[in-house]
Amino acid sequence: MAYKKDTLIKKAKEAIDANGLYFFSQVISYLPISEKTFYNHNLQEVQELKEKLDANKIDAKKAMQKKWLESDNPTLQLALYRLLSDDHEHKKLNQQHVDHTTGGKKIEITRKIVNGRED
């Protein structure tokens, strides 16, 4: 069966709005076409669809962040802090941080004595 691109775009927008979809793979499952047909019509390049999916992702992230901020659960609060932290703060929070400059070897400080005095 032949499908018009405009009709598919309309159905895709309706599916995104009605079901709060985030990814094209989800959109495809709501359309009466195969994945191959979806990509043959270049629906993944339709800016309106991209914007709708992105808006859903942003709305979901904002809702989750609000819940995390209002939660008494330390794990959720820490996750939010990590998302909001700058690089310096993130490294301090990250227990897996490894200083790769020394290759994990202990730094030995040698002192030099010059004219009877430690330099």
pLDDT digits (tens, 9 = 90+) for 4-17: 999 999 999 999 99
| pLDDT on residue 92 | 80
Mind listing the pLDDT tens digit for each residue in 71-114? 999 999 988 988 888 988 888 877 665 666 776 677 777 777 66
Which long-range CB contacts under 8 A does 1-8 form with residues at least 24 apart?
Answer: 3/32, 3/33, 3/37, 3/41, 5/41, 5/43, 8/33, 8/38, 8/41, 8/43
Least confident of 42-51, 61-70, 81-90: 81-90
Domain ranges of the chain: 5-94
Are the CB atoms for 5 and 43 separated by under 8 Å?
yes
Mind listing the pLDDT tens digit for each residue in 49-62? 999 999 999 999 99
Tell me the C-alpha distance between 85 and 65, whole Å: 14
